[in-house]
């Protein structure tokens, strides 16, 4: 099986195994492999922000103050309902333009501000976004979007902690704060982990949208390298090979999924140690 696979690839990308290896390790391919960093950064930083947003969202949802509850409900309902592609396009652009608007109010002369139809009103208010800026915005977008899902999961998990345990804890003389942190929140994680692992998978998949923000990620490189080329001086001459590179991405995401499932299982085992559930 493996031999057949190696033989197949060896004949597919170049003259023999050496040619294939040379092709798969040229600068273009190295750039393609290196672009994995954008995906991983977006996934991990996005997930970290999502957990924070999720906890804040849960706190708002369960707040005793009505307006905070409304904010929490609004956040989870609206953000979960809008397609993530739209959010990916909307949030960074909206953020960029609002920053430029604020900059324009301070830096641009009054006549430039009054003149409509030009954005930004003057050169000083121009914010040139680098890849770095876009990546940071992408992380926050992922965090905000998937934080809404996480909030819902965590809220449900808080409710899933048996009431009897909390009552027993107060009966033993723990203060309400201790009951909350040491019993409800501590056990909440056990109930929340399966749901959170789901949210993580969704977030991982959404990292394939990075190229929408001009980030030169794996998807963009797969498009570039896989595109047909007929001019020898440009590089290897081949037809439309995009499917091969998409297939490689396919495998990459599946491997990440398997790895995540394994890690979450271990996490679950650790979190439910000494508990009757899990």
Q: Is 149 left (phi over 0), alpha (psi -120 to 50) or beta?
A: alpha
- How many Cβ atoms from other residues are within 10 Å of residue 91's Cβ? 18
Between residues 180 and 241, which has the closer beta carbon with respect to another protein?
241
**Binding span for another protein by CB under 8 A among 57-65, 86-94, 194-202, 233-241:** 233-241
244 binds another protein (CB under 8 A): no
Between the CA of residue 50 and those of 102, 144, 149, 251, what are the distances in Å?
27, 6, 9, 25
Sign of CA dihedral 228, 233, 235, 236: positive
Choosing from 1, 2, 5, 27, the residue that interacts with another protein (CB under 8 A) is 27
| 233 lies in the binding site for another protein (CB under 8 A) | yes
CB nearer to another protein: pick between 174 and 241: 241
Q: How far apart are CA 269 and CA 120, in angstroms?
A: 54
97 binds another protein (CB under 8 A): no
Within 8 A by CB and 6+ apart from 77, the residues are: none
Among 55, 99, 185, 236, binds another protein (CB under 8 A): 236
CB 145 within 8 A of CB 206: yes
- Binding track over 55-94 against another protein, x by CB under 8 A: ----------------------------------------
The answer to the question of residue 177 lying near another protein (CB under 8 A) is no
Task: Rule CB under 8 A: say whether 242 interacts with another protein.
Answer: yes
Cα separation, 180 vs 183, in Å, equals 6
Q: Which of 10, 19, 21, 44 is close enough to bind another protein by CB under 8 A?
A: 44
Residue number, 172 or 230, with CB nearest to another protein:
230
Min dist. Cβ of residue 232 to another protein (A): 7
- Cα first-last separation, the chain: 38
Smallest gap from Cβ 163 to another protein, in A, equals 30
Give least dist CB 11 to another protein, A: 19
Question: What is the distance between the alpha carbons of residues 221 and 39, in angstroms, rounded to a whole number?
Answer: 12
Is residue 30 close enough to count as binding another protein by CB under 8 A?
A: yes
Please state, in angstroms and rounded to a whole number, the distance separating the CA atoms of residues 143 and 84. Answer: 11
Check binding of 116 to another protein (CB under 8 A): no
Token look-up 């307006």 returns 67
Rounded to 5 degrees, what angle do the CA atoms 148, 152, 157 make?
A: 145
Q: Answer yes or no whether residue 273 interacts with another protein by CB under 8 A.
A: no
Is 224 among the residues that bind another protein (CB under 8 A)?
yes
Q: Where does this chain bind another protein (CB under 8 A)?
A: 26-31, 37-38, 41, 44-45, 48, 123, 126, 128, 130-132, 135-136, 214, 224, 227-237, 239-240, 242
């Amino acid at each position: 099986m493996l031999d057949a696979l190696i033989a197949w690839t060896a004949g597919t990308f170049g003259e023999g195994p050496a040619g294939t290896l040379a092709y798969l390790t040229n600068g273009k391919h190295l750039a393609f492999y290196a672009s994995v960093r954008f995906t991983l950064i977006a996934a991990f930083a996005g997930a970290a922000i999502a957990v924070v947003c999720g906890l804040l969202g849960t706190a708002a949802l369960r707040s005793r103050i009505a307006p905070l509850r409304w904010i929490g409900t609004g956040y989870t309902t609206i953000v979960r309902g809008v397609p993530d592609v739209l959010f990916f396009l909307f949030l960074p652009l909206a953020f960029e333009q609002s920053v430029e608007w604020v900059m324009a109010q301070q830096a641009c002369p009054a006549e430039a501000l009054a003149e409509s139809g030009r954005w930004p009103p003057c050169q000083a208010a121009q914010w040139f976004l680098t890849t770095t800026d876009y990546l940071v915005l992408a992380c926050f977008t992922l965090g905000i979007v998937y934080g809404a899902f996480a909030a819902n999961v965590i809220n449900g998990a808080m409710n899933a902690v048996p009431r009897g345990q909390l009552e027993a804890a107060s009966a033993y003389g723990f203060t309400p704060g201790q009951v909350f942190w040491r019993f409800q929140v501590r056990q909440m994680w056990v109930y929340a982990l399966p749901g959170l692992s789901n949210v993580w998978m969704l977030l991982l998949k959404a990292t394939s949208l990075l190229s929408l923000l001009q980030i030169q990620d794996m998807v963009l490189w797969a498009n570039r390298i896989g595109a047909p080329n007929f001019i020898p001086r440009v590089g290897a001459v081949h037809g439309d090979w995009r499917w091969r590179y998409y297939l490689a991405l396919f495998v990459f995401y599946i491997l990440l999924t398997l790895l995540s499932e394994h890690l979450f299982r271990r996490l679950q085992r650790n979190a439910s140690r000494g508990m009757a559930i899990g």
